[in-house]
Chains A and B, each alone.
Chain A
Amino acid sequence: MKESYVDLINIRRKVFVEIAKMAYEDTDLNELEKAAYNIIPGEVAKYRENIFRERAVVEERLRLTMGLNVRSMSEFTRVTEGIDEVNVDETKFIPDLVNVITFACEACPTRALKVTDNCRKCLAHPCTNVCPVNAVSIGKDRAIIDQDKCIKCGRCKEACPYSAIVEYQRPCAAVCGVNAIESDHLGRAKINQEKCVSCGRCIIQCPFGAIADKSQIYQLVKALKTKKNMYAMIAPSFIGQFGALTTPEQIVEGIKRLGFKDVVEVSLGADITTLHEAKEFLQKVPNEIPFMGTSCCNSWALMVKNKFPEQYEYISDSASPMVETAKYIKKNDPDAIITFIGPCISKKLEALREDVKDFVHFVITFEELMGMFVAKNIELSEIEISKEIQDASTLGRGYSVAGGVAEAVKKTAQLLDPSREINVESASNLADCVKLMFQAKAGRKNGYLLEGMACPGGCIAGPGTLASTTRVKKAVEEFKNKAPYKTPLDNELIDDELKNK
């Protein structure tokens, strides 16, 4: 989340509330035609140049939240077009997950170096002198960069003593670590779905709110109303997300009041993943594979699969904490219908995988969950509950902060085999993950455990969060220390068989 984008965040979340309310109240879906008027009331534009466009963008957000595609602007289509297909009580995924709302996109220019009016046309003009392709000349008012010649090396910018040259970049493309943002025929952002790994960074960085992912909250609420065996599992970064006064126990109880039978910490699955990965590492590295990558971040794993297909087998075979937690729930209740609640949108794709779809049935974000709480009038901080949450170890609860996964696997592996030295290296944004993989591919990370995460700082910085990373990091630390077990090897909920060497 980008906290300073206040208006954008609020519009996004109001849409979640609106859709969750419609689902809880069994509203006739034809009312979707009016919903944008609830979110953007009145007749004066507040966010864009006119209120019609504001509402039109909100209508696309309503559609995406329902799980539908963005409409084409070149032909008449109702807001409710295709609604029957998604008016169901099970996940209905219509590709793609991450979408550009084309008419919300302002077609920002692509990356370029620009001279601002800070330029004083100085005598030294180092900008011209350092340019390797002779693209900078001194014009009448200021230096001029010939954009056809410029190779965007940035040397002029570095050399200018007045900070007069800026590097300009589309915010969506700037944060995309896999260069998946391209342009359509009108210069608007277009996502190359072959390259996109659905990390969601462009969604939160676009200052015009032109990119959004699809949600499953409507179908989830419908399922909660009709089905009995609904379970939720909540990712380790949930601590501190739902208000400064709300305790982890109140969050869990609040989720139950939404209609879930029980809630399990995904940190329990993290403990199980840790044990699998620790054993796998001890067994395979360095004899079978030169290094091992962690498997819990879906965007990281997808990136390796797309960009480094030959090294993809070096990513751990262990299932992610989400999947392990779901398997644990399924073992106790084979009819369980399971919802993953996390900071992540990439998990929405992971849950559709052939080997995962029978375990994880819905995926929503913390933001979407908050929308459900508000729709259902649940005041979390007023819930009275004394029962403590005791599913996971300190190490499992640390998974959400960058470095936490590798630390857990390393410590556990060393408990299993104290003689082993284990080197770890972590990267926590996709661009750095790509760099790390290039080094690994070149053989410079042999013997290493590589932790890759797509979000800067780990899952606590995921696109579906509500609280700042500083706030959550502190809260996670406190919650870690309250864990009933120190390491996964102590966790009594896990089969002893898995703990043996």
Chain B
Amino acid sequence: MKVKVCMGSNCTLLGAMNLLDQIESLRELIEENSLEYKDEELEIESIKCLGYCKTTDANIAPVVIVDEDVIFNATGQIVMEKIMDKMRI
């Protein structure tokens, strides 16, 4: 599974690094209970600004992409739940 965290200026201002820390912390949870989760690597990547927020006036930062799913206004609880649900067997 691949998770991308946008590190553009706007996303960084609104907590992208904290999201990254939170997502990375899931690896530990998954390892501790490895039998309950798929034997699939949780790939986490910081990416440069994708420009979403520059095309709209709406506030959409921070942006996180879980596989093909683009999440606007990403929060730790929403992103982590999504990842955990997808990883669970």
B-contacting residues of A (Cβ < 8 Å)? 3-4, 6, 9-10, 13-14, 17, 242-246, 370-371, 373-374, 377-382, 466-468, 470-471
Contacts and interface: CB of A to CB of B under 8 A. Distances in A.
Contacts, number: 68
Interface residues of B, number: 20
A243 B14 contact: no
Contacts of A371: 13
B18 A243 contact: no
Nearest to B49: A379
B76 to A, nearest CB: 7
A245 B10 CA distance: 14
A437 to B, nearest CB: 34
A6 B48 contact: no
Contact of B76 (A6, A244, A246, A382): A6
Interface of B: 5, 7-10, 12-18, 20-21, 46-49, 75-76
28 contacts: A4-B18, A6-B18, A10-B15, A13-B14, A243-B8, A243-B12, A243-B17, A243-B46, A244-B20, A245-B7, A245-B46, A246-B7, A246-B12, A370-B9, A371-B13, A373-B13, A374-B9, A378-B9, A379-B8, A379-B9, A381-B8, A382-B48, A382-B49, A466-B12, A467-B17, A470-B21, A471-B17, A471-B21
Contacts of A382: 48-49
Contacts of A10: 14-15
Contacts of B48: 245, 379, 381-382
Contact of A243 (B16, B21, B75, B76): B16
Given A379-B49, A381-B49, A468 B7 contact: no
Given A243-B17, A382-B49, A468-B17, A6 B12 contact: no
A9 B9 contact: no
Contacts of A379: 8-9, 48-49
A177 B6 CA distance: 37
Contacts of A246: 7, 12
Contacts of B5: 244
B15 A244 contact: no
B13 A17 contact: yes
B49 A242 contact: no
Nearest to B51: A379
Contacts of B75: 6
B18 A242 contact: no
Interface centre among A245, A374, A471 (most CB of B within 10 A): A245
B17 A244 contact: yes
Contacts of A370: 9, 12-13
Given A6-B76, A379-B49, A381-B48, A468 B21 contact: yes
A380 B9 CA distance: 7
Given A245-B48, A379-B49, A382-B48, A373 B17 contact: no
Contacts of A3: 15, 18, 21
A5 B48 CA distance: 25
A3 B46 CA distance: 18
A382 B48 CA distance: 8
